[in-house]
Structure 1
Amino acid sequence: MSSPTLDSTATAAAHPSAPPLHGGKAVALVATLILGVLSFQLNASMITPALPDIARDLHEDVGAVSQVSSLFFLAGAIGGVVLSRWSDFIGRKQALVIVLLMLAAGTLLCMFAPNLTVLLIGRALQGASSAAFQLSYVILSERMSAKVFGTTLGIITAVNGGVGGVDGYFGGLLADTFGFRSIFVVIFLVGLVALACVLLVVPKTSKPVSTGRMDWWGAAVLSIALICVTFFVSQGSSAGWTAPITLLYLAGTIVSLVAFWFVEKKRVTPLIAVEHLRSRQVWPVIATTILTLSGVFAVINFTVVLLSQDTKVGFGLDAATSALLFLAPPALIGVFAAPLSGWLAGKQGWIRMLRVGMVLCIAALVVISLLPHNEAVVFAMIALLGLTYNGLVLTTTNGLGVLLSPPDAPAALPGLNGAAFGIGASLGIGIVAPFAAQGTIAGYGTALWISVGITVLAFVASMFIAPRRGQTI
């Protein structure tokens, strides 16, 4: 029995008349898309070390300045859904140019911001440029052959984790030496180069993939739902999950999602049709992404970080050493593992490799939960998660978001799946934060086992993913 491979209809489906790119043109396209997504990613990773400098320069407290990150990611969730779907109507190249122009405008506002309000407006525009990732995934699916699609998608996915931690360090160095505005100068220059390359290299869409008009009503209602769920998670982790304000945002989320369902049923060209939302090609992918990020991301980026710096029951490391041992390794491993994972998924099957990655993630999390006091074991398992989570799982979930998206709306599922990444990451931290923050072995243990349970649910959700009739992935 032969191994399942990516069938030729899974890529270039939207443009059957456009032959896949090869040779120098393919390399130039991938390099251009890397520059495009890097322009966004630098905004996510380089700014965090500069938050204290921003607070001093704008005469604000650090708590208020933290909005530059939260608003950035919220705008990213909305922009990823709306702008990627809009590209089905106006073309990928046109949409990517708009995204990079928004990034440039936002970066200029941040560069010369006289106060926090202007800075936040700039950060919102920058955040919306997260659609560069979803657009890149779809462009690769339409312009690359099945043979290289997985590998190139893995390369773009690797950038989503930053540049192996070096970008964060470089951001801190710039802020300390020249001030936080110098970071935006660098980002602006990278964005300009990316924009020029997009104009020169990315093929222009011959005709729209979707006919009709963009569903702006559906986009507006879904955006409200994303805003409500974001504040529900943030308020739940701070004010408590049963606090009135938290329950109010939960109600807003539910009402908005119900409204979205009815709006989509009435639209001629919906953001994503209801029959697709309830299919095994869409909801299990979104559920798997949310639950995986909730489970694994919280362990790597929150629980283990707190444990490693705890001087009483943890490893007693300083912040720099903690980042060097427990944040940098999985990021660096993911840079190399993601392209390999994409290649492997194209050979062995995307759904199969997702489930293999999920099982390995669960195994690593169980070992950490059993031996949280053993620094060497925790280090080894976090490094393993760089391969299984940053490599296999993130690459295959991104790939499936493209391959299983409805043929009449190829950018719809990648956009929704992109929003699911942010929701899952914040939700997982919000759930385990009260336990990890106790600063006890029991508290860390509870947080870790909760993450194990959530990741098991993610694996269960992945078992419901199924290809479309006649599709082999």
Structure 2
Amino acid sequence: MSDRAQPAVRGGTAAAVLLVVALSLVVTTLSLLQSLVVPVLDRIAEQLDVSPSAAGWVLTANLLAATVLTPVLGRLGDLKGERPVILGILGTVAAGTVLAITTESLPLLLLARVLQGASYGLFPLSISVLRRELPERRLGVAMSVVSSTLGVGGVAGLVATGLLAGDDADYRRPFWIGLAITVVAFGLCLRLLPRRSATSSGGVDWLGAAVLGLGLSLLLLFVSQGNSWGWSSPAALGCLAGSVAVLSAWMVQQRRSAEPLIRPAMLADRRTIIPNVVGLLAGVAMFASFLAVLQYVQSPPEVTGYGFGASVLVATVVYLLPGGVVGIVLAPFAGSVVTRFGGLPTLVVGWTFGLAGFALLTWVRSEPWAVIGAGLLTQVAVTITYAALPSLIVQAVHEDETGVANAVNSIARSVGQALGSALTVTLIAAHLDPGSGLPRNIAFTLVGAIGIGVSVAILAAALLGLAGDRRATRSRQQDPTGEVEEATAGAGEWSTVSGVR
């Protein structure tokens, strides 16, 4: 039986399209602001007169804020309604972006990035809006289009930086694009987001949110700062051990809470475990591909013996933008495939492309066409993944948990992106040539091998999910009374219809 409320969008196809456009721009705000600082970290260090490791906190502060805020914002959307929470987030992000543009201080820039970290809550809330407001026949494609902007917006952020911050220009210039998109998104949401009552009752488990935020922050500190601190340093190992202890205590606290922030049973359900694992691994793959391609194509061949000596602009427009364009075109088709065949078979197809992309990056990268192809294929895999994950999550949880369930998946992707960045940076730093100070070619082979391993792991997870579906189907066929299904609800199969448990 469906647990969805009656869709409220009026005006037929035109109204639905406008809503999807508005939410796509909302999610673009998140992915754009996340990625546009990646190519200019060295510029930030130079222009603010700080060390490269200090400038690295511009990324870390944003991710830390995201891990703390995302589950709370997802829960608030379920409790208060998505419209006021989305508008509040966009206002906060706009204020943070103005601060990033105007400040000349690293501490204030970090504060700006913390405010921008609230944007990570926009994706799960957007999926909640779609689930509530669109009919079944439109939901799969709509979620795919909105979700695809996570990957496409990331490429757009890199391209925007290449266009506006080339030739040693001010690193602040790309933030103007982020501000413009945020303001436009706010205006569209103010006009188009329907006013609806909340889907859930109760309150926010603030203690659980604080403990979860602390545990995830310690984990992200280990992942993002381990290379600069030293992976075996007391600070890094202390963060890792502290994260394990705090997150374990959080699980105990959630089991005892009358109104947990996240139901432990939901976290233990195979139907949410697999999308969260895939989200984490896809985050690793996406940032490993981005960073490896950018570093490789900008390397001067006369010094390193590899690379193409590309500028930041050429690196982003020629080598990354094709994948972003293909992602935009592919998203509606991917949503239709997910709706017809299911998320897990779609993941298998997607990461066959991803495996081929990383194989090109590992063994055939000496030619420009091969690097372009690698970036395109991995972007296709990420686009397909982002099309499938919301559908899998929506099918696994009740409507009143849509926001917080997708928030958990967003956190998994964020941790994966941080891990992908850390692994890539660590491998490159471990294989620097003493004479030139640039990475040896073997570093990119190792990054490609990690991508191959991640692709295989995602394929294995999807196939395990399909095997679990077959077992659940056989159980129901053997027990038509439904008693087995009721007793093993946490191991049930995904429905092929979005929103049905």
TM-score, structure 1 normalization? 0.87
Tell me, yes or no, if structure 1 residue 358 matches structure 2 residue 351.
Answer: yes
Q: Deviations over 1:279-312 (max 9, x none)?
A: 1111221112112322x22441123333334433
Q: Which amino acid aligns with 2:23?
A: L
Alignment CA distance shift 1:375-1:169 (3 Å): closer
Q: Which amino acid aligns with 2:449?
A: W
Following TM superposition, by how much is the alpha carbon of 1:16 offset from its aligned partner in structure 2, in angstroms?
3.4
Tell me, yes or no, if structure 1 residue 304 matches structure 2 residue 329.
Answer: no
Q: Which amino acid aligns with 1:334?
A: G
Q: Identify the match of residue 315 of structure 2 among 308, 318, 322.
A: 322
Following TM superposition, by how much is the alpha carbon of 1:266 offset from its aligned partner in structure 2, in angstroms?
1.2
**Unaligned ranges ≥5, structure 1:** 1-7
Once structures 1 and 2 are overlaid, which stretch shifts more, 323-332 or 334-343? 323-332
Following TM superposition, by how much is the alpha carbon of 1:14 offset from its aligned partner in structure 2, in angstroms?
4.1
C-alpha contact 2:271 2:493 (8 A) present in aligned 1: no
Q: Identify the match of residue 56 of structure 2 among 66, 86, 91.
A: 66
**Aligned runs of 1:451-462 on 2, under 5 Å?**
451-462=451-462
Tell me, yes or no, if structure 1 residue 141 matches structure 2 residue 131.
Answer: yes
Following TM superposition, by how much is the alpha carbon of 1:384 offset from its aligned partner in structure 2, in angstroms?
2.2
**How far apart, CA to CA, are the structure 1 residues paired with 2:169 and 2:291?**
30
Tell me, yes or no, if structure 1 residue 120 matches structure 2 residue 110.
Answer: yes
Q: Which amino acid aligns with 2:185?
A: A
* Match in the other structure for 2:183: 192
* Match in the other structure for 2:324: 331
Q: Identify the match of residue 213 of structure 1 among 203, 206, 209.
A: 203
Q: Deviations over 1:112-144 (max 9, x none)?
A: 435222222122111112211111112112211
Q: Which amino acid aligns with 1:453?
A: G
C-alpha contact 1:106 1:126 (8 A) present in aligned 2: yes
Following TM superposition, by how much is the alpha carbon of 1:230 offset from its aligned partner in structure 2, in angstroms?
0.9
Q: Deviations over 1:380-418 (max 9, x none)?
A: 23322232x132122212332333234441212210111
C-alpha contact 2:222 2:237 (8 A) present in aligned 1: yes
* Match in the other structure for 2:369: 376
Q: Indicate the SS of the match to 2:204.
A: coil
**How far apart, CA to CA, are the structure 1 residues paired with 2:38 and 2:81?**
34
* Match in the other structure for 2:434: none
Alignment CA distance shift 1:369-1:42 (3 Å): closer
Q: Indicate the SS of the match to 2:271.
A: coil
* Match in the other structure for 1:415: 407
Q: Which amino acid aligns with 1:204?
A: R
**Aligned runs of 1:117-266 on 2, under 5 Å?**
117-163=107-153, 165=155, 167-171=157-161, 173-174=163-164, 179=170, 183-206=174-197, 208-266=198-256
Q: Indicate the SS of the match to 2:62.
A: helix
**CA-atom RMSD in angstroms:** 2.9
**How far apart, CA to CA, are the structure 2 residues paired with 1:328 and 1:395?**
19
Q: Which amino acid aligns with 2:339?
A: G
Following TM superposition, by how much is the alpha carbon of 1:90 offset from its aligned partner in structure 2, in angstroms?
0.7
Alignment CA distance shift 1:68-1:449 (3 Å): closer
* Match in the other structure for 1:273: 263
**How far apart, CA to CA, are the structure 2 residues paired with 1:129 and 1:150?**
23
**Unaligned ranges ≥5, structure 2:** 432-438, 470-491
* Match in the other structure for 1:430: 422
Following TM superposition, by how much is the alpha carbon of 1:237 offset from its aligned partner in structure 2, in angstroms?
2.8
Once structures 1 and 2 are overlaid, which stretch shifts more, 263-272 or 396-405? 396-405
Q: Which amino acid aligns with 1:363?
A: A
Q: Identify the match of residue 393 of structure 1 among 385, 399, 413.
A: 385
C-alpha contact 1:229 1:250 (8 A) present in aligned 2: yes
Alignment CA distance shift 1:191-1:368 (3 Å): closer
Once structures 1 and 2 are overlaid, which stretch shifts more, 234-243 or 195-204? 234-243
Q: Indicate the SS of the match to 1:210.
A: coil
> Identity rate of aligned residues, in percent?
25
C-alpha contact 1:229 1:253 (8 A) present in aligned 2: yes
C-alpha contact 1:338 1:390 (8 A) present in aligned 2: no
* Match in the other structure for 2:485: none
C-alpha contact 2:282 2:382 (8 A) present in aligned 1: no
Once structures 1 and 2 are overlaid, which stretch shifts more, 71-80 or 327-336? 71-80
* Match in the other structure for 2:73: 83
Q: Indicate the SS of the match to 2:79.
A: helix
Q: Which amino acid aligns with 1:302?
A: L
Once structures 1 and 2 are overlaid, which stretch shifts more, 414-423 or 368-377? 368-377
Tell me, yes or no, if structure 1 residue 290 matches structure 2 residue 280.
Answer: yes
**Aligned runs of 1:6-45 on 2, under 5 Å?**
9=2, 13-16=3-6, 18=8, 22-45=12-35
Aligned residue pair count? 460
Following TM superposition, by how much is the alpha carbon of 1:39 offset from its aligned partner in structure 2, in angstroms?
3.2
Q: Which amino acid aligns with 2:103?
A: A
Alignment CA distance shift 1:67-1:162 (3 Å): farther
Alignment CA distance shift 1:415-1:162 (3 Å): same
Q: Deviations over 1:353-382 (max 9, x none)?
A: 112212332233234434344543343233
**How far apart, CA to CA, are the structure 2 residues paired with 1:308 and 1:190?**
29
* Match in the other structure for 1:3: none
C-alpha contact 1:20 1:143 (8 A) present in aligned 2: no
Alignment CA distance shift 1:393-1:251 (3 Å): same
Alignment CA distance shift 1:406-1:281 (3 Å): farther
Q: Deviations over 1:195-224 (max 9, x none)?
A: 232222111122x22221111122111111
C-alpha contact 1:153 1:339 (8 A) present in aligned 2: no
C-alpha contact 1:338 1:392 (8 A) present in aligned 2: yes
Once structures 1 and 2 are overlaid, which stretch shifts more, 245-254 or 67-76? 67-76
**Aligned runs of 1:99-110 on 2, under 5 Å?**
99-110=89-100
Alignment CA distance shift 1:188-1:364 (3 Å): closer
Q: Which amino acid aligns with 2:218?
A: C
* Match in the other structure for 1:471: 495
C-alpha contact 1:50 1:172 (8 A) present in aligned 2: no
Following TM superposition, by how much is the alpha carbon of 1:37 offset from its aligned partner in structure 2, in angstroms?
2.3
